[in-house]
């Protein structure tokens, strides 16, 4: 038997997910027009490189959950901003190793600090269990989007 309250809550969740997607699109637009602005994909790539160290394009693509072609474009933009370098390993001339620069590491740290502060401020009234639930819901939404 349908539960109208649950259906309304799921509808609100779907609408919030659309709003999040629209906000991501606006952020990507700002990242293409504003020097120093980072899209979520750019920030994700910087975070992966900060966490793992240098990676070949294919591994960076997998870690950032993007395609190889999209990652190549992403790396081009990050390299133009001075955030990463591309080098060919001596033992493998076919691959490209992407390395975070000192400027990129600083930019990553600035972005992470700003994000952590914004999350802490905006979500201060939520208990840790609610934040854990939100994390699970977001991951489930990502899985649903991959199935659509």
pLDDT of residue 24: 87
Percent of the chain's residues with pLDDT above 90: 75
pLDDT of residue 67: 92
Residue 13 has a CB neighbour count (10 Å cut-off) of 13
Q: Which residues contact 43 (CB under 8 A, 6 or more apart)?
A: 108, 111, 115
Q: What is the pLDDT of residues 111-129, one digit of tens each?
A: 999 999 999 999 999 999 9
Q: Which residues contact 82 (CB under 8 A, 6 or more apart)?
A: 101, 103, 104
- Is residue 61 classed as helix, strand or coil in its secondary structure? helix
Residues in the chain predicted with pLDDT less than 50, given as ranges, are none
């Amino acid at each position: 038997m349908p539960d109208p309250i649950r259906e309304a809550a799921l509808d609100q969740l779907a609408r919030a997910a659309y709003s999040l997607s629209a906000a991501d699109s606006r952020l990507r637009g700002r990242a293409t027009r504003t020097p120093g602005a980072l899209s979520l994909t750019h920030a994700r790539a910087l975070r992966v490189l900060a966490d793992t160290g240098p990676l070949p394009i294919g591994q960076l693509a997998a870690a950032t959950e993007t395609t190889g072609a999209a990652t190549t474009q992403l790396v081009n933009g990050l390299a133009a901003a001075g955030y990463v370098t591309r080098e060919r390993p001596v033992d493998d001339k076919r691959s490209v190793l992407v390395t975070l620069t000192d400027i990129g590491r600083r930019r990553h740290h600035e972005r992470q600090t700003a994000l952590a502060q914004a999350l802490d401020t905006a979500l201060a009234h939520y208990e840790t269990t609610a934040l854990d639930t939100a994390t699970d819901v977001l991951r489930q939404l990502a899985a649903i989007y991959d199935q659509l």
